[in-house]
Amino acid sequence: MIATAKKTNEIINKYNLKIKKGFGQNFIIEPGIVEKIARLSNCEGIAVIEIGPGIGALTQQLAILSKKVVSYEIDKSLIPVLKDTLSDYENVQIINEDFLNVNLKEISDKLINKYGNVVVCANLPYYVTTPILFKIFESNTRIDTITVMVQKEVADRFNASVSSSDYNALSVITQYLYDVKILMKVNKNVFNPKPKVDSAVIQFVKKDFIEEIDRYKFFEFVKACFKQRRKTLNNNLKEYINDSDIIENIYLKTNVDKNIRAQQLSLDKFIEMYKVYEELL
């Protein structure tokens, strides 16, 4: 079992590893946690894509449960380590590449064709959590379940409900595409090195029904409504749409008070407003 404090120290010493904070390296040292994340990822009997295997703590559990693990690690110095720590698992493929450069559609289609289905599971590097998730969200793949460990505050933002202080454009956009659930909180003490904040495991499951609208224009519209959080919806929209008749018509047709703030609008209301806006263009 790789994910123990003792084994992790042994591996660090054996390879004289310099832990790279710049790559967000915090290795899990609690076997129960990696087992649980792997189990909850629903990778059993199918393929799984992992981002950032580190020294292989979570990868090992994914390899035990799934048919195939494809894992992308940016840090070249970890590749020989992973070859060693995961040498017992023939179904693991480690690729030394920045996940942000990966052609996710191509690899996920290949894995679905061969193994029936694919999920994503990772303990994400915190410095690049949102870009990685948005890459997955926007890559137009058939991946329908994403299970990742992130900083607790970030998980709260993705999962936020309307009118709460964490609710923002990210919450609306994500919840338009996925059902979002926080599966568990994870204490900062189960990592080496120990990060400053606690983490949470969050799961995104693609919705069965997604309203057919131009999603990229919709995302822009939502971001514009939230542009300056303290400003009213009307003040933000005036910066985005320079035709006041259109703006007034949106309020009228959707029964929205222009003096509220974007954080008071539900996802359904954003969709309704966007549809009216599209019609009026």
Pick 94 or 276: Cβ nearer ligand SAM: 94
Pick 51 or 118: Cβ nearer ligand SAM: 51
Position 134, amino acid? F
Pick 12 or 280: Cβ nearer ligand SAM: 12
Question: With 0-12 CB in 10 A as exposed, 13-18 as middle and 19+ as buried, what is 99?
Answer: buried
Determine, following the binding rule CB under 6 A, whether residue 136 of this chain makes contact with ligand SAM. no
Considering only the stretches 22-30, 154-162, 176-184, 213-221, report the one whose residues sit in contact with ligand SAM under the rule CB under 6 A: 22-30
**How near is the Cβ of 29 to ligand SAM at its closest, in Å?**
8
Q: How many residues bind ligand SAM (CB under 6 A)?
A: 22
Determine, following the binding rule CB under 6 A, whether residue 148 of this chain makes contact with ligand SAM. no
Site string for ligand SAM, 47-86 (x = CB under 6 A): ----xxxx--xx-------------xxxx-----------
Pick 52 or 226: Cβ nearer ligand SAM: 52
Among 4, 7, 12, 23, binds ligand SAM (CB under 6 A): 23
Determine, following the binding rule CB under 6 A, whether residue 24 of this chain makes contact with ligand SAM. yes
Among 27, 176, 178, 221, binds ligand SAM (CB under 6 A): 27
Among 12, 100, 107, 246, binds ligand SAM (CB under 6 A): 100
- Which residues form the interface with ligand SAM (CB under 6 A)? 23-28, 51-54, 57-58, 72-75, 98-100, 123, 125, 128
